Structure 1
Amino acid sequence: MAVSFYRTNVAHNVTGSAMQQGRYVAYYRVSRKRQGLSGLGLAAQRKTVFDRLCDGGELVAEYTEVESGRRTDRPRLAEALSACRLHRAILIIAKLDRLARNVAFVSALMEAGVEFSACDFPQANRLTIHILAAVAEHEAKMISERTKAALAAAKARGTVLGGFRGRAGTCTDLAKARAIRAAKADCRAFDLAPTIRQLWSEGARSLRAIADGLNSKGITACRGGAWSAAQVRNVQKRIVL
């Protein structure tokens, strides 16, 4: 979704480095909107790219996209490729599967006139990339088919699918539920962070003052209703002012 343009040379001592010095455009992709908002997965990709470029390279732009790996109509990727051509830069990605699990899509990308590098497979050439993309596409298809078959078999055995359905949740069920709640809280904190930072910069330095500021802006608390100091404290634990 986001794109940032800047010039920064992250090279140190590049003697004998496997990464050639040059211009790079970074492309990050996460599959779900929640991942894009929370930064889950995205932060790891950025770290991988920056770690790779610290041996030499000038990062001129970054593009982030929230899309399914099966889709090929990615506007941010198209913009990244355009930036690569404009700056005569190399498209750099953290992992090869961030591009797509689709051979035709990878082929089209390779014909776009842009060189690209995958941090997890820097030695890959055009042939190996085609092979790996084909394997990834096959794997994605097999996972989908196995999941459908397993669900059909469970349903045939009389297993009630979807949720607890009146039964007591297992430890695994409860752990998953907690993880879902935590992810939702992280997303909510991400949305609130700019407003809380603004209130902080305007002088609202206490939890009560921030709560009053949020209430005055008509922003409801996480579970609806007015904000309390305790609720603000819970949100602040998830963000950095």
Structure 2
Amino acid sequence: MPLVAYTRVSTGKQQASGLGLEAQQEAIDRYAERTGEPIIGVFTEVESGAVRDRPQLAAALDLCRRKKAVLLIARLDRLSRSLAFIAQLLEAGVDVRAADVPEANRLTLQLLAVFAEHERQMIRDRTKAALAAAKARGVRLGAHGAVLAAAHRHEAQLFAESLRCSVDELLAGGRKTTRELADGLNGRGVLTREGGRWHPATVSRVLVRLTGSDPFPVEP
């Protein structure tokens, strides 16, 4: 079957330096050479793994569907460490393969996604434990907490901005309430920042970040 390659780096700095991309492309090329399957498209995303609205990935999946091709990635974590996001991709009707685990099937990919998300949760737990231990020793965490809060707000704003085009298109298409916008985003396969489905309240928070206020009442 033809292959559509998808690579991802997290930052513009990595894109400029080629950090990570070269190794990913090399793994993909080795896989294609070994299987003899042609690569008919290569798509590269410069985006955090936490962001779900990815135009290059959407384009790669669209080409896969049109050409009945396989989406090929170098490593599973280039898609995301979110189990919900990967599971949704696996249900999208496109065969996904990882060059680092060529024998993997859909079940294997789902299991690997579980382990990846477990690893992410362990990192969070270790961070919380380290902060708690520091607090117990009398270390003042106020400044650090403020930095973390600012970083969280920045990431949330970046995620909201990544959804601006989708939200604008839905509004232009006649969506007039937070419920209708939530249904539209869910229908497009767009996940929330936490990897779940959209609800009126989560749409409302995004609208506030995009416009400074919520133009619609939050529906139950």
Query: What does the per-residue CA deviation read over 1:37-65, in whole Å, with 9 as the maximum and x for residues that have no partner?
Result: 22101111001111111121211111111
CA distance in 2, matches of 1:45, 1:155: 41
1:74 partnered with 2:54: yes
Q: Deviations over 1:178-228 (max 9, x none)?
A: xxxxxxxxxxxxxxxxxxxxxxxxxxxxxxxxxxxxxxxxxxxxxxxxxxx
Unaligned segments of structure 2, at least 5 residues: 144-220
Report the Cα distance in structure 2 between the residues aligned to 1:148 and 1:39, rounded to whole angstroms.
33
Per residue, is there more helix in 1 or in 2? 2
Residue 43 of structure 1 is matched in structure 2 by 22
Q: 2:63 aligns with which of 60, 63, 83?
A: 83
Partner of residue 84, structure 2: 104
* Map of 1:185 onto structure 2: none
Q: For 2:31, which of 48, 52, 56 is the aligned residue? A: 52
User: Which runs of 5 or more residues in structure 1 are unaligned?
Assistant: 1-21, 163-241
CA distance in 1, matches of 2:8, 2:94: 18
SS in 1 for 2:44: strand
**Aligned partners of 2:79 and 2:7: how far apart in 1?**
9
1:127-206 aligned at under 5 Å gives the runs 127-154=107-134, 156-157=136-137
Structure 2 CA distance for aligned equivalents of residues 124 and 84 of structure 1: 19
Distance 1:122 1:83 in 2: 21
Counterpart position of 2:6 = 27
> Quick one: structure 1 residues 133 and 153, their matched pair in 2 at CA, closer, same or farther if it must change by over 3 Å?
same
How far did residue 155 of structure 1 move?
Answer: 5.0
Distance 1:51 1:30 in 2: 20
Partners of 2:13 and 2:134 lie apart in 1 by 29
The percent of aligned pairs where both chains have the same amino acid is 54
Quote the offset at 1:159 in angstroms. Answer: 5.6
TM-score for the superposition, normalised by structure 2: 0.59
How many correspondences in the alignment?
Answer: 142
**RMSD of Structure 2 on Structure 1 (CA):** 2.1
| Cα distance in 2 between the residues matched to 1:141 and 1:36 | 27
Q: Which has the larger radius of gyration?
A: 1
